[in-house]
Amino acid sequence: MTAPVLSCIRPANPPTGEHVYLYCDGACDTQAGHGGWACILKYGNKEMELKGHSSETTNNRMELTALLEGLRVLKRPCVVMVVTDSQYLRNAFTQKWVLNWQRNGWKTASKEPVKNQDLWEELIALAKVHDLKFVWVKGHSGHEYNERVDKLAVEERLKLRVK
């Protein structure tokens, strides 16, 4: 696990509340477009699992959804340690991609529209409330919580196979 890196978006009022670990992951069958997402919130000795699925989606959209759904359930501003195996998600916040996209009218450096703008905008709003710190873990490397959220996300994705 790498050292935590601060988000480029800081809350106006630093939270004084709980410290929460938010483990998140997404999974997608790119051929069929079936996706699943999952997150585990851990605070004190309590845990909460959230999960869901979507059709006609992408892996990146499921990664973003996992973080978004986890942040949505927090009732007051928290310090949130986001643990993810998604370089895309982590780098967007730690290397200022989201700020550059906003400044450039939601265009990438190559002038293409930013995918998942709707999710990014909501994540930015929540990053202004919570103090986000990002930790990257290598996927499928035995990290207990990363393995759990991966398994949950895959289970959700597979639910769409039978529909």
Tokens 């990053």 — which residue? 127
Q: Which residues of the chain have pLDDT under 50?
A: none
Catalytic residues: 25-26, 63, 85, 140, 150
d(CA 156, CA 12): 36
Known binding residues for Mg(2+) are 25, 63, 85, 150
Q: What is the pLDDT of residue 16?
A: 76
Show the beta-strand stretches assigned E in the chain: 5-6, 19-29, 34-43, 46-54, 79-84, 131-136
- Look at the domain 5-162 and name its fold: Nucleotidyltransferase; domain 5 (3.30.420)
Residue 4: what pLDDT? 87
Distance CA 108, CA 98 (A): 10
pLDDT value of residue 12 = 84
pTM reported for the whole predicted model: 0.94
pLDDT at 78: 93
Residue 15 is predicted with a pLDDT of: 84
Residue 140 identity? H
